[in-house]
């Protein structure tokens, strides 16, 4: 009987440790530069878009589509962008210590699509590279 109790408590203890380890892996807060408030960069930008905080979105974008335009013009463009679909990050590929390629899956009208974006760490802030192709990919109409 004592052996059965020992096995039961050891199993219970092991199960509790494995659950604790699992919950730490799903927590993204401060884990790497791609994490924002326990989510990833594109989901964070989507929350800003849904809350109409376009000026805050600009801080996380860089590239030829953004460069050379004034802040008000970019805010108007972002306000008119279609960005309300459901999305989920499904992959990360590190290019080097300060840049990554992220793969996302989105659902639009019941159809799943995957797409990739590039991110880089610039001035201690993770930013999404936006050129014309990336703009059409992210802000799909």
Domains of the chain with CATH codes: 32-138 (3.10.450)
The answer, yes or no, to whether residue 43 has pLDDT greater than 70, is: yes
Task: Identify which has the larger pLDDT, 13 or 57.
Answer: 57
Q: How many CA atoms lie within 13 A of 40 on its CB side?
A: 16
Judging by beta carbons within 10 Å of its beta carbon (0-12, 13-18, 19+), is residue 57 exposed, middle or buried? buried
Tokens representing 39 are 């989510």
Of residues 22 and 120, more confidence is placed in: 120
Determine the pLDDT at residue 117. 93
More confident site: 141 or 67: 67
- Closest to 89 in 3D by CA, of 100, 97, 78, 80: 100
Q: For position 124, what pLDDT does the model report?
A: 82
pLDDT in the model for residue 25: 42
pLDDT tens digits, one per residue of 69-115: 999 999 999 999 888 888 888 888 889 888 889 999 988 888 888 99
Q: Give CA separation, 8 vs 3, 4, 21, 63, 133, in Å.
A: 9, 6, 20, 58, 57
Residue 9 has pLDDT above 90, yes or no: no
Q: Is the pTM of this model over 0.85?
A: no
Percent of the chain having pLDDT more than 90? 34
Q: What is the pLDDT of residue 22?
A: 37
Pick the more confident residue, 35 or 77: 77
């Amino acid at each position: 009987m004592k052996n059965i109790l020992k096995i039961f408590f050891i199993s219970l203890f092991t199960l509790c440790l494995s659950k604790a380890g699992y919950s730490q892996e799903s927590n993204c807060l401060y884990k790497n530069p791609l994490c924002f408030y326990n989510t990833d960069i594109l989901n964070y930008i989507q929350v800003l878009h849904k809350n109409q905080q376009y000026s805050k979105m600009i801080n996380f974008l860089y590239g030829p589509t953004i460069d050379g335009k004034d802040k008000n013009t970019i805010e108007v463009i972002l306000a008119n962008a279609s960005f309300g679909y459901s999305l989920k990050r499904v992959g990360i590929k590190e290019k080097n210590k300060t840049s990554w390629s992220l793969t996302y899956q989105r659902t639009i009208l019941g159809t799943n699509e995957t797409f990739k974006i590039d991110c880089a760490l610039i001035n201690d802030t993770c930013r999404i590279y936006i050129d014309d192709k990336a703009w059409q990919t992210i802000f799909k109409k």
